[in-house]
Structure 1
Amino acid sequence: MRDDAFRAYFERHHASLSRLAYLMTGEPSAADDLAADALTEVWRHWDRVQAAADPVAYGHGIVMNLARNWIRRRSRERIFTFGLAGRGHEGSDVPAVLDVRGALRKLPHRRRACVVLRYAFDLSEREVAATLGISVGAVKSSTSRGAKQLAELLGGSVSRIDGWEAAR
C-alpha cells in the first residue's frame, strides 16, 4: 500500500519537481538530480508527506531547499575555482545575452522561488507561502520585487516571462 501510494506520487509529480529544480538552477542535469534527491527525501519521510495538508507543496519545499543549497555550493566552487574573491563584480566586462533562465539566475533565491512558483507553477500566494515556509506578505513582496527585477533584466515588461515552457 505504501509503495503504491508513493509510486503514484512519483508518477504524478516527478516531472513537475524536475521542472521546478530546472527553473531554480538553470541546469538540466542538476534538475534531474535534485528531483531524484527530493523524491528520495519524500520517500524517507513518506508518513509526514501523506499527513501534510498539501503533499505536493511538501515536495516543492524539498526541491526549493535542495536548489538553494546547490546554488550556494556552486557559487562557492566558482569563487574557489576561479579565484573571484576580492575581485570586481563577476562578468561586468562581458556583455550577456539575457534570456529568462539567465535573468532568473540573477534574482535572489527567495524572489526567484516566488516568481517561479507563482508564474511558472501558477500557485496561489498562500500555496507559495506554505511551500517556502514564509508569510503571504513576504510572498507578495518577493514576487512583486522579483517580477519587477526580472522585467528590468529582460529589458521589458513582465509579460515577457509568460513563455515558461520555452525556458526549458
Structure 2
Amino acid sequence: MLLDDPSAEFHDFFERHYAELGRLSSLLTGEADAADDLAADALVALWQRWDRLREAEHPLAYARGVVANLARERIRSATRERRRVALFWSRGAQPAPGPDVAAVVDVRAALDRLPFRKRACVVLRHAFDLSEKDTARALGISVGTVKSQTAKGLAELERVLGVQAARDMATERGSR
C-alpha cells in the first residue's frame, strides 16, 4: 500500500488505538463485555469520516470523544430500560435496602457511582494520564470544567473509598 493511502493510515490508527479505546469504554460504562463493541462502533464512525479526520490535528481526541458519547448513550439507554422494567414489575413501594458500605471497596464500583462527566474526567486524567487540555478536547468541555469535575470526582471517591485508597488511585496514573 502507498504511504498516503487512507486505508493504510486508518489501519495504522486502528492498530495503535483500538485497545486503548476499548479500555476507555470499559472504564466509562463499567461493562467489560461492551468495551469491544463500543470501541468498534467508534472506529466505524471514524472510518466514515476518515477523509476529513486524517487531516485533523487530534484524531485520537476525536475518537475518545466518540467513545465517551457512545458510552454516555449506552448508560442512558440502560437506565431507561431498567426504569421501564422496574415500572412494569413494581407491585407498590418496597423499601430499598441501604448501601452495603463494606462492599464498596473496589475502585470500579466507586467509579460506577460517579456521574458520567466526573467519571470521564477522572478516568481520562488518571487512568489514561491525559492532560487537562487533552481531556477537555476529548469530552468537548472547557479546561476549567475538567479541573472542577476531576476535583469533585476525586472528592466523591475519597468519601466512598476512604482518603488513602482514592489517593492511591490518583497516584497510579496510567500504571494499568
Same fold (TM over 0.5): yes
State the alpha-carbon separation in 2 of the partners of residues 116 and 148 from structure 1. Answer: 14
Counterpart of 1:159, as a letter, is R
Residue 125 of structure 2, aligned match among 118, 124, 133:
118
| Structure 1 gap ranges (5+) | none
Distance 2:56 2:158 in 1: 35
- Cα distance in structure 2, aligned partners of 1:92 and 1:51: 53
User: Is 1:75 matched up with 2:83?
Assistant: no
Superposition CA RMSD, Å: 2.4
Q: TM-score, normalised by structure 1?
A: 0.89
- For residues 174 and 160 of structure 2, the distance between their equivalents in structure 1, rounded to whole angstroms, comes to 19
Say yes or no: does 1:146 pair with 2:153: yes
In the alignment, structure 1 residue 7 sits paired with structure 2 residue 2: no
The question of whether the paired residues in 1 share the 8 Å contact of 2:25 and 2:67 is answered with yes
* 2:143 partner amino acid: V
Partner of 1:161: 169
154-163 or 78-87, larger mean C-alpha shift: 78-87
| Equivalences for residues 10-25 of structure 1 within 5 A | 10-25=14-29
Q: Percent identity?
A: 48
- Is the Cα–Cα contact under 8 Å of residues 58 and 131 in structure 1 kept in the other structure? yes
Q: Which runs of 5+ in 2 are unaligned?
A: none
Number of aligned positions between the proteins: 166
Paired residue for 1:49?
A: 53
Q: For the residues of structure 2 that align with 1:152 and 1:126, how far apart are their CA atoms? A: 27
1:93 to 86, 94, 98: 98
User: Aligned partners of 2:63 and 2:57: how far apart in 1?
Assistant: 12
Aligned amino acid, residue 49 of structure 2: H
Contact 2:126–2:174 (8 Å) recurs in 1: no
| Structure with larger Rg | 2
